[in-house]
Amino acid sequence: MKPFNMEISSLSYKEVKTYIDEIDIYEEMKEDNFFRLIENLKSDSRKNVSSLGIRLEKSKEKIEKEILRVRSMYEFDRSFGDYKYIAGVDEVGRGPLAGPIVACAVILDEDVLDEELILGINDSKKLSEKKREELASIIREKALAYEIAISSHTEIDNKGIAYSNNKVFLDACNNLNIKPDLVLSDGYLVKSINIENKYVIKGDTKSACIAAASIVAKVYRDNLMKKYAEKYPYYNFEDNAGYGTIKHVEGLKKFGPCEIHRKSFLTKIL
């Protein structure tokens, strides 16, 4: 941590705040003098300065709580047994009226130290778009392997959503660069998979590798639907990702379906 060259009491509130705002709390909280900094701030006679110490302490506690939460997700994955490589697989896009269904399989290093945990991983729907984008990049960088699989709107219409859902699970798992010893799937078992497979109810909130897969799959599909929005501007795909929102249905009724609509999903709308 960059040290103060003077006593806090000799610095203005603005100078102290500028220093605090530049701190990487996650990195600096491991240092002994970080605790001393918090105590010095809290004991300052100026309320606005002491409030910075309280804010810093709360931020530290929040990160510590997050470390425990994410560590438990990694431990959950390891609890299934002594497997070298565990893949989590999840899908996004089962319910939309348009676009593909997308699955992702992810293998994480389940034995990392706290410093290498991917903090923030969770059910992708519980995260902001910005946070999902940030995490997807980190996951792709830190994962031992990941694979994305797609089943198009045409395949969904021809084969059914259940078939397509299982197909993207299979494709994502089978095409990983590292063959997993165990696949953890969100919600239900993968049919016809030749790898040991266990399902986890609400797996994207319990399992580190399933949560990671959920995030990468959603970011990929959301960005794909934004590109489709440029080609098909009448359905608000950039905001609804193909789901049946009011604007989407209004566009369907006014302009009819476009090339990427799932015709089998529109029978009760048109």
pLDDT attached to residue 244: 96
pLDDT attached to residue 3: 45
186 labelled binding-site residue: yes
* Edge-to-edge order in the sheet of strand 145-151: 145-151, 101-107, 86-92, 182-186, 197-200
Residues 75-98, mean pLDDT to the nearest whole number: 97
Helix 208-231, helix 47-78: angle, nearest 10: 100
90 labelled binding-site residue: yes
pLDDT attached to residue 270: 81
pLDDT attached to residue 182: 98
pLDDT attached to residue 10: 84
pLDDT attached to residue 55: 93
pLDDT attached to residue 26: 84
CATH code of domain 86-225: 3.30.420.10
Distance CA 70, CA 187 (A): 20
Confidence of residue 140 (pLDDT cuts 50, 70, 90): very high
Q: What is the mean pLDDT of the chain?
A: 94
What are the tens digits of pLDDT across the range 188-243? 999 999 999 999 999 999 999 999 999 999 999 999 999 999 999 999 999 999 99
What are the tens digits of pLDDT across the range 13-45? 998 999 888 888 888 887 778 888 899 999 999
Contact 183, 170 (CB under 8 A): no
pLDDT attached to residue 5: 44
- Please state, for a pLDDT cut of 70, what percent of the chain lies above it: 98
pLDDT attached to residue 242: 98
Domain boundary assignment for the chain: 8-78, 86-225
pLDDT attached to residue 148: 98
91 labelled binding-site residue: yes
pLDDT at residue 166 above 60?
A: yes
Inter-CA distances, 57 with 30, 62, 114, 129, Å? 13, 9, 19, 27
